[in-house]
Chains A and B, each alone.
Chain A
Amino acid sequence: MSGDDLKLLLEQAEAEISTADAPRIEALRVSLLGKNGTVTNLLKSLGGMEPDARKEAGARINHLKTQITDALFARRAVLDDAALAARLQAERVDVTQAPRPEPLGSLHPLSRTVEEIAAIFGAMGFVLKEGPDIESDWNNFSALNIPSHHPARAMMDTFYLQAAPHERPAVLRTHTSPVQIRTMLAWAAAQASGEAVEPIRIIVPGRTFRADHDATHSPMFHQFEGLVIGQDITLAHLKGCLIDFLRAFFGVPSLPVRFRASYFPFTEPSMEVDIGWSRRTGEIGGGTDWLEILGSGMVHPNVLANVGIDPRKYQGFAFGVGLERITMLKHGINDLRLFYESDIRWLRHYGFAALSPASLHEGI
């Protein structure tokens, strides 16, 4: 074949390839490059040529083969791309629709507060203790220097469980302080039996109960209690510990904290603690108003003696905080009763994500 013939063949082939669809491409490949294809046959014809002519024609035919091969390949790529584009177009979905719903759970704000408290007091070397809700009269009152006639008992509207005749009725604990008693009894007993004991630093969150039910009182609520006992714990430590806690909890490093003399049967001196806030805006640490936030004091010598600790050797402080109160303040919750109502809308609104643990290193 002459050079012109080959050129013509190439032009014809390229023209056909450029418009071919996928089956036609394959047919063209067979007819051109297959076992009996035009180009294959041309190559076969080389065998009958003189060496010089063969060399020259071979180069031309092989070049033709390469060009056709490339054209087929290119066309196939174009067709593949077009097919893919068409498929992708067909696979289009409306991404504005919502994904498959994954019901979101939540943690109750009170749980969150307990975790935050644990994180802060954990950093101060405290241990978290718990105790039963149903308590003996002695643990809840007498051991805490509240004898049966004490006016302070009237201040706490106590729930009693039904009791058999001649049996002292159990009480629903009116505060978390019985856990102080349990802890100190065990500590004093361990020490008396010669065990090496660490000074006490505990916090005690838990359910508490008083027979009071209105907009600002719930018959069940939560407190957390703190107790620190050692040989050289002073009222200055009480102040430092509570100031450190309040500033960390509310996230206000310069939070004003005020201590006022007060009275609780189980501490002496006793004090109430106020924090600065704005009554108008509710901003903690802002404004010029004071807000009572917790009660505290040095553990009363009688309480220590009641559990077998010699107040000449050991002293310390205790405090009690309403969990709901500090939770409401921190998160701007205004209705106490809704804490226990379990309204799914409230739980979703104030609840915390499952995967947001309260930790100091992540910030609480």
Chain B
Amino acid sequence: MKFSLSWLKDWLDTDAPLEAILTTLSAIGLEVEGVENKADSLKPFVIAEIIEAKQHPNADRLRACRVSAGGAELSVVCGAPNARTGLKVVMAPIGAHVPGSGITLKAGEIRGVKSEAMLCSYSELALEGDGEGIIELPANAPVGTPFAQWAGLDEPIIEIAITPNRGDALSIRGIARDLAAAGLGRLKPFTAPAIAASLPSAIHWVNTYPEACPWILGRTISGVKNGESPAWLKQRLDSIGLRPINTLVDITNYFTYHLGRPLHVFDIAKLSGAALTLRHGQPGDVFPGLHGKEIQAGPDDCVIADGAGAQSLAGITGGEQTGCDEHTVDVFLECALFDRVKIAQTGQRTAIHSDARARFERGIDSQLLPEALAAATQMILDLCGGTPSAPTEAGQRPEWSRQAKLRFARIKSFGGSDISAPEAVASLERLGFTIAGQDEHSVTVNVPSWRNDIAQPPSLDQAPDLLGAEAAAEGAAEIEPEVDLIEEVLRLKGLDAIEPVSLPVSGLIPAPILTPKQARTALARRVLAARGLAECVTFSFADDQSCALFGAAPESLRLANPIASDLNQMRPTPLVTLAQAAARNAAKGFGDVALFEVGPAYAPDRGQALVAAGLRLGASPLSALAPARKYDVFDAKADAQSILAALGAPMDGITTTQGGPAYYHPGQSGELRQGPKQLLARFGTLHPKLCAALDLPEGAVAFEVFLDALPEPKRRKKTAPTLSAFQPLRRDFAFLASADLAVESLLRAAKGADRALIANVALFDRYSGKGVPEGQVSLAIAVTIQPTDKSLQDAEIEALCARIVAEVTKKTGATLRG
């Protein structure tokens, strides 16, 4: 909300400097968003007179003028067709910065005629204004005076943000009241004029929708002369960015800001019938609104209709067909109280933002209607003449009686503040609260009608099946009004006055802030970063087509109102957005990247799992010492396994199975499981088709570790290790196996030959080709034998080796290669 300092001073008697006003506004909850003084950028511009304007000797479209701003006559070349002898104009001297065009004026010569100044248009001054060409000032404009000062532009325009609870502060009077209550002056009184009228109104209200409009007033003023508003009114509206339209409309806009009281004027000549009816919207209610767009009223909206149909969307915007213009002679002035919730709902449905809506949906002063009607009537009479009728109304003044109780001790025990009881009471009184009762421990106050945010009727939405629901509701009803009052007292004093107190801690050494699972997640991040992957944070949503490539794009995970079509689907795995990120990097020429993200994967029915996903693209970096190596599926497997190992998964019990979901290469992917069921991780080369669809270079490898699936590591103490005194020995074997044998089973079989003596089994060569029958493969393994309590005799070793071969052959069908 914008207002000028002079307008504020209509209501606030103060000599506080601007800086103090701004600081206080922000401190008490009316946050200053900006201050602007138009005159600051218009300092050099002065009022001047064109002594003589004639045709430029060498240019058809230019005028050569002699101009005076009180001093020496200057020669000015001007392109505006309206530059004429005797016109009062706005002149920029050499050196002036012209805000509208951004240039700084230099002396020059235009086609042989000197130009020693510039005559300005509104747009060159960055001002709103009508007309082609240069600004035409009235004949009585004083030559030599700074233009901004003469035009009333030389004052600060303050813009503040009004929070949704403060309907009262959407008025300049309300702002003045808050400032006065904060000690920055005195609020000037408002007394409504008495309007003498006896004739009945030509128009009357019929209210069939009292839930939307409990009370509405109006009156006819006949015989008005509508036209341009006086300069002071236009300038006030201009200063806060409201375009002056005509006097009647300007007056309604003026009161919207002056008193926070939206009004509306109907041109009676354009109404059909003598009744204006408040009713639910009906299917045929389509009419052009004053905001320039067509309005289609819904069944819950409240419209104001005449004999011809809906003419106004109540509390939001009027209709174009019945608005006032310069031909209006008889006007009907509307002053209504609309229901906050109904207006908010209609406003949200229609997405029309208007000053009226902003005030009605926050709540206006429900008691001010007759006074506001009188004040607006008086201004119409003053500026447009005419004869007022008696007011007409429908509904009745709503009951207003709210009280709130403040226990003084709570200022400290809730607010942490040392404000004394008398100071608190005085603050509330300055805000317009009146004392209903007081003792040494507490005060009970009557809430002023403009503060409908205080002591509101309880509006809870408690969880179902709540134990203690009633007591909690009682508590809220009791505490909420008191907290309202504490808030008022604290904010007016300034929250900075409260002495901060550090949270007490029980003992010096806190318990861990992270659960074991959260700590493991942090560890997973470090493991991957230490392995050379860069952590990313990518969006939780992507386009549904890309998500479908990764298995699933169900409707239930599609956004109803996506911000863009490529962000419309919750991702089934972080690989979707990681792959897109890798593709973006590759497109920029960074084709060797290793990325990871620890983030959510979404599944229907609000499923959400934490996944550590990663993707490697391209090859390891170039070096003279080691040839660059393309990342392959085993890099992805190593990444996945490294997380599992670091997070304490029992690696001996984890099996790898060949294959995986369809977004992986069917022959280069696998799954890591604990036991037969528990899927811990997947890895693989991404499918070439998927890479092509995502513009991802082929050969990218990826992994997903399902952190939620990992069992909590057992907090068991380790048993002491057996550190054998005997040297381990190694025996190598080569087996001929079926080419599709999973090598993991062969290693497992070898190890199973003697779990006590065999410490490790590793594959060190895999060969097929010459010397190996078709369909078979030679697998060379090294077995590490660790004697435990004595050196092994040759015969014992031979026997063990024979057991290994027998076990492998029995379990896998592989035979020792001759």
Contacts and interface: CB of A to CB of B under 8 A. Distances in A.
Interface of A: 97-108, 110-111, 115, 118-119, 121-128, 130, 132-134, 138, 142-143, 147, 149-155, 159-163, 169-170, 172, 185, 188-189, 192-193, 201, 203, 207, 209, 211-213, 219-220, 222, 228, 232, 234-241, 243-244, 258-263, 265, 268-269, 271-272, 298, 300-302, 304-313, 315, 339-345, 347-348, 351, 353-355, 357
B262 interface: no
Contacts of B5: none
29 contacts: A97-B625, A99-B625, A101-B626, A103-B532, A105-B534, A143-B463, A159-B559, A161-B560, A162-B556, A169-B560, A212-B563, A219-B567, A220-B540, A234-B501, A239-B416, A241-B502, A243-B500, A259-B498, A261-B29, A262-B163, A300-B480, A302-B460, A304-B475, A305-B476, A306-B462, A308-B463, A344-B593, A347-B595, A355-B526
Which of A149, A155, A192, A212 has the most B CB atoms < 10 Å from its CB? Answer: A149
B536 A263 contact: no
A237 B505 CA distance: 12
A111 B535 contact: yes
A149 B344 CA distance: 6
B693 interface: no
Given A125-B511, A132-B608, A312-B479, A234 B414 contact: yes
A106 B526 CA distance: 8
Interface of B: 26-29, 31, 163-166, 340-341, 344-345, 347-348, 361-362, 412-417, 458-463, 466-469, 471-476, 478-480, 483-484, 486-487, 490-491, 495-496, 498-503, 505-506, 510-515, 518, 522, 525-541, 555-564, 567, 570, 578, 581-582, 584-585, 588, 590, 593-596, 599-600, 602, 606, 608, 620-626
A188 B463 CA distance: 11
A133 B540 contact: yes
A275 B527 CA distance: 36
Contact of B501 (A104, A121, A239, A355): A239
Contacts of B414: 234-235, 298, 315
A355 B528 CA distance: 11
B478 A312 contact: yes
Given A122-B512, A222-B537, 15 more contacts: A107-B529, A128-B518, A133-B602, A161-B558, A161-B559, A207-B599, A234-B416, A239-B500, A240-B500, A298-B483, A302-B458, A302-B460, A304-B475, A305-B473, A307-B472
A98 B624 CA distance: 8
Contacts, number: 336
Which of A193, A213, A239, A344 has the most B CB atoms < 10 Å from its CB? Answer: A344
B534 A347 contact: yes
B476 A311 contact: yes
Contacts of B340: 149
Nearest to B456: A302
Contacts of B506: 125
Contacts of B514: 118, 122, 128
Which of A147, A159, A268, A342 has the most B CB atoms < 10 Å from its CB? Answer: A342
B590 A269 contact: no
Contact of A122 (B476, B500, B513): B513
Contacts of A104: 532
A310 B480 CA distance: 12
Contacts of A308: 462-463, 466-469, 472
A15 to B, nearest CB: 49
B29 A262 contact: yes
Contacts of B621: 101, 103
B513 A126 contact: yes
B501 A259 contact: no
Contacts of B501: 234, 236-237, 239-240
B29 A100 contact: no
Interface of A is mostly: mixed
B534 A149 contact: no
A298 B531 CA distance: 45
Nearest to B514: A128
Which of B471, B511, B599, B626 has the most A CB atoms < 10 Å from its CB? Answer: B471
Given A306-B462, A342-B584, A193 B344 contact: no
A304 B468 CA distance: 11
Contact of A162 (B469, B559, B564, B595): B559
Contact of B486 (A119, A130, A269): A269
A119 B623 CA distance: 40
Nearest to A323: B537
B515 A263 contact: no
The 4 closest A-B pairs by CB, nearest first: A236-B416, A263-B163, A122-B513, A261-B29
Contacts of A203: 513
Nearest to B357: A151
A258 B494 CA distance: 10
A298 B480 CA distance: 11
Contacts of B341: 149
B63 to A, nearest CB: 44
A111 to B, nearest CB: 6
Which of B468, B505, B528, B626 has the most A CB atoms < 10 Å from its CB? Answer: B468
B555 A234 contact: no
A263 B537 contact: no
Contacts of A163: 556, 560
Contacts of A237: 416, 501-503
A36 to B, nearest CB: 45
Nearest to A271: B495
B704 to A, nearest CB: 17
B475 A188 contact: no
Contacts of B529: 105-107, 351, 353-354
B416 A235 contact: yes
B150 to A, nearest CB: 34
Nearest to B415: A235
A127 B563 contact: no
A357 B526 contact: yes
Contacts of A213: 563-564
B582 to A, nearest CB: 8
Contact of A342 (B29, B362, B538): B538
Given A234-B415, A305-B475, A315-B414, A105 B496 contact: no
Contacts of B622: 101
Contacts of B555: 162
A142 B595 CA distance: 39
A300 B518 CA distance: 30
Contact of A138 (B461, B473, B490): B461
Nearest to B469: A308
A306 B461 contact: yes
A6 B340 CA distance: 129
Contacts of B487: 261, 268-269
B122 to A, nearest CB: 30
Nearest to B30: A261
